[in-house]
Amino acid sequence: MAIREILVYPDPRLREPGTPVERVDDEIRRLVDDMAETMYAAPGVGLAAPQIGVARRIFVIDVAGEDEPSNLRVFVNPEITSLEGTQSYREGCLSFPGVNEEIKRAERVRVRALDASGQPFELEADGLLAVAIQHENDHLDGVLMIDKVTPLKRRMMSRKVARAREEAPA
């Protein structure tokens, strides 16, 4: 396992849609392990493969609280099959350091995907897990949280990211 570099906006690779995974093999499982290690080290609650420069349709999520045991979920070739309701949630993103913005998303989602063993599963989610699934799935399509805010907020987000990059240790 290895911690990978997380791409930061406006890196153009964040806009590349992920390609489907043909089969879940040892290479994909190593990638998933690296993604999980990278996400936990950041720390974050989700990470999509395009965020580490790998244009594949994979993301990992763990929304367990600090005092709860880890609950890593792996989504390979996810497909959101239904969205219900609406909610606003203050989201952050590892590719937008120092930025948190209120984003409107569906309140409940149903997703179909493969797990880290290549086994298909379906999941219904609400709350933070639903938000994380939608956020990470957007990354697989080259859609970023900055695309979901007003032009004024976009400018403010871009400035915050630029400031965070300047202040980050080399």
Q: Which residues are catalytic?
A: 136
CB atoms within 10 A of CB 34: 19
Q: 35: which 2 tokens?
A: 């993604």
* Structure tokens that stand for 152 in this block: 């004024």
The residue type at 106: A
Distance between CA 132 and CA 106 in Å, rounded? 11
Phi, psi of 69 (to 5 degrees): -70, 150
Q: What angle do CA 5, 14, 23 make, to 5 degrees?
A: 80
| Placement of tokens 């086994």 in the chain | 119
Residue the block writes with tokens 């995974």: 21
Residues, the chain: 170
